[in-house]
Amino acid sequence: MATRQLIRSVVLQSLYEWDFYDRREDLVKILDRNLKEFADGVDEPDFAWRLINGIVTHLNEIDNIIRKAASEWPLEQISLVDRNALRIGVYELVFEDKKEVPEKVAINEAIEIAKNFAGPNAGKFINGVLGSVYRSMEENKKGEVKK
């Protein structure tokens, strides 16, 4: 497994645990423990911290983007795995430097982690939602999603 793909998986697991406990647990401790357990010695641990910090910083905006793109699915009814795979995908798609993570890579990586942790049908759902976000970005000439 590629380094960044492994890191995204660890970030997904950490966000899942944090979300499962209604965000009452210390996300820093969760990610630190999971990096040591599942990605010890990984080349780019700073990538994991950048993802987590970015997602937490923009969490309300990310969740609003998901709500708009998946309007028929209340956020609270989206499975924890799918919800957090979407958060990673939206963060990378909307907020991450495009030179660092191109749009199509962000979408594909979110689909893959969802498939790995939730099954093949999750990939279709993630693809549909992130595809909608991407189209919205393309329609808005500035490359931003209305939040």
pLDDT at 141: 59
CATH architecture assignment, domain 3-139:
Orthogonal Bundle (1.10)
**pLDDT tens-place string over residues 60-102:** 999 999 999 999 999 999 999 999 999 999 999 999 887 788 8
> Rounded CA gap, 134 and 55, in Å?
18
Determine how many CB atoms are found less than 10 A away from the CB of residue 74.
Answer: 9
What is the pTM (predicted TM-score) of this model? 0.91
Whole-Å CA distances, 77 to 74, 80, 97, 102, 124: 5, 9, 30, 29, 17
**pLDDT tens-place string over residues 42-60:** 888 899 999 999 999 999 9
